[in-house]
A and B are shown apart, each in its own frame.
Chain A
Amino acid sequence: MKTHVETTINGETVECLIDPSSTLLGMLRNDLGMTGTKEGCGSGDCGACSVVMDGELVCSCLVLGVEASGAAIETIEGVADRDQLHVIQEKFLEHAALQCGICTPGLIVSTKALLAENPNPTEEEARYYLAGNLCRCTGYDKIIKAVMDAASAVQEA
């Protein structure tokens, strides 16, 4: 029997009827049509499904949809302000920090969470914080350069 879930996503109240065994990832992608958050593994090992839930960075594949009731969720769809990209998104593009782009939404959400917690990370801190975001295309070099540049840019702003 389906469960009614009311939650806030990127500032908007949203309702849906879901199978209680659904993960938050499944609820976002299949019930709400929000496919920006990706599934790479379904077991919390790749970070492609990263979202922020009540201020904490989480893997949405490891959260039940029903747990999102009453919570505030932030996804990749809420990072840009309509067509105005967030500085993190701009830096990713400037530094060519993406090739196939499948890990990019997860990485951008995670980078945003990193900079909220630690606005001036060292390169090592950035690499360790983002260790849960797998990328197979870039070797991470340009990603970390984009993250460090975004941190400076945010500080200067």
Chain B
Amino acid sequence: MVAVTYHAPTSLDEAVALLSSSELPAKVLAGGTDLIIQMQKLVTEQRLIVDLKKIDGMQSATLSDEGLTLGPSLCCAKLTRRDDIKAVFPGLVEAAYLIGSSQVQGRASVGGNLCNASPAADTIPALIANRAVCQIVGKAGERSVPVESFVVGVGKNCLEPDEILKAIVIPHPGKATSDAYLRFIPRTEMDIAVASAGASISLDSDGICTDARVAIGAVAPTALVVEEAAQKLIGQPINEAALEAVSQAASDASAPISDRRGTAEFRRHVVGVLAKRAVMAAADRAKEK
């Protein structure tokens, strides 16, 4: 374990100042379920740890007619208990709920999952499907980045060393729109996604798809938006032909690797299956709204 200098600032300004002025390599701490494991691999190094959890707003979740403003450090256990948020964003909440075990849920956060930027992160395809926007604060001020641009590579996000993710803003989906997130794992819990898919579907009163957004995860260095899948859906009913097209588009868009969790062929095939199943689930939910 590294040698740690620990601070728990009570304001974003204080946090940004700590990050800007630190001589030691600095890391921000939310739930710690990724960071603490990573720190264990480093034996002789030193780190400044800036705990964000005492800052106002970092653990809040405000739902309004405009949408959801999510504090990045809110633990998933608390988020997934919010029935009001679940009613509007069932797919996002189910993605957050799938991260790790009940114990991990007690600490892990959507913001942490996003910033850790694993190619297999559960929340990212669901955030992308819901067109989330990341609000960032740093010494140069504030900026916003759409979530699909926030992650730039394997384990890499777009934050400068002095920047902090301040909030994740998700626009209200509106009537007859709902989302879903599915992942494939070999067991029933605990595993890192081998392939995943998030979808948001809008339907009109005849069941024709008026808007769609499909994202896939764990099959490329970052989660990907599958534009072609949306194109194949918009203007169509959600029928077998459309779903097969979605499946094919998702498989074609993927660029998976082979590793201890699955072969490339397996991932390519399964992400197609998940994409169509996620679209079906989102469409079923949209119908009910």
Contact = CB atoms under 8 A, between A and B. Distances in A.
A16 interface: no
Contacts of B32: 62-64, 67
A125 B188 CA distance: 12
Interface stretch (A49-57, A92-100, A136-144): A49-57
A3 to B, nearest CB: 7
A66 B49 CA distance: 11
Interface in B1-56: 1-6, 29, 31-33, 36-37, 39-40, 49, 51, 53
A13 to B, nearest CB: 20
A43 B102 contact: no
Contacts, number: 91
Interface stretch (A32-40, A79-87, A126-134, A148-156): A126-134
Q: Is the interface of B mostly helix, strand, loop or mixed?
A: mixed
B3 A57 contact: no
B190 interface: yes
- Contact count band on B: 20 to 34
B77 A128 contact: no
B103 interface: yes
B49 A62 contact: no
B66 interface: no
A56 B53 CA distance: 15
B86 to A, nearest CB: 15
Contacts of B173: none
Contacts of A61: 36
B6 A64 contact: yes
B197 interface: no
Nearest to B101: A132
- Contact count band on A: 20 to 34
Contact of A64 (B36, B77, B189): B36
Contacts of A19: 4
A20 B101 contact: no
B206 to A, nearest CB: 37
B207 to A, nearest CB: 32
B3 A21 contact: yes
Contacts of B100: 44, 132
Contacts of B6: 3, 20, 64, 66
A44 B4 contact: no
Contact of B37 (A57, A62, A130): A62
A119 B161 CA distance: 45
Given A63-B107, A64-B32, A131 B190 contact: yes
Given A42-B40, A67-B51, A128-B189, A53 B103 contact: no
Contacts of A59: 33, 101, 103-104, 107
Contact of B102 (A3, A21, A53, A130): A130
Interface string A17-48: 00111110000000000000000001111010
Nearest to A69: B8
A113 B29 CA distance: 25
A3 B188 CA distance: 40
A22 B40 CA distance: 10
Interface in B51-70: 51, 53
A58 interface: yes
Residue among A20, A58, A128 with the highest chain B CB neighbour number at 10 A = A58
20 contacts: A21-B1, A21-B39, A45-B190, A50-B103, A53-B106, A56-B77, A56-B106, A57-B77, A57-B102, A57-B103, A57-B105, A58-B103, A63-B36, A64-B29, A64-B49, A66-B4, A66-B6, A67-B29, A67-B53, A132-B190
Interface of A: 3, 19-23, 42-45, 47, 50, 53, 56-59, 61-64, 66-67, 110, 113-114, 128-133
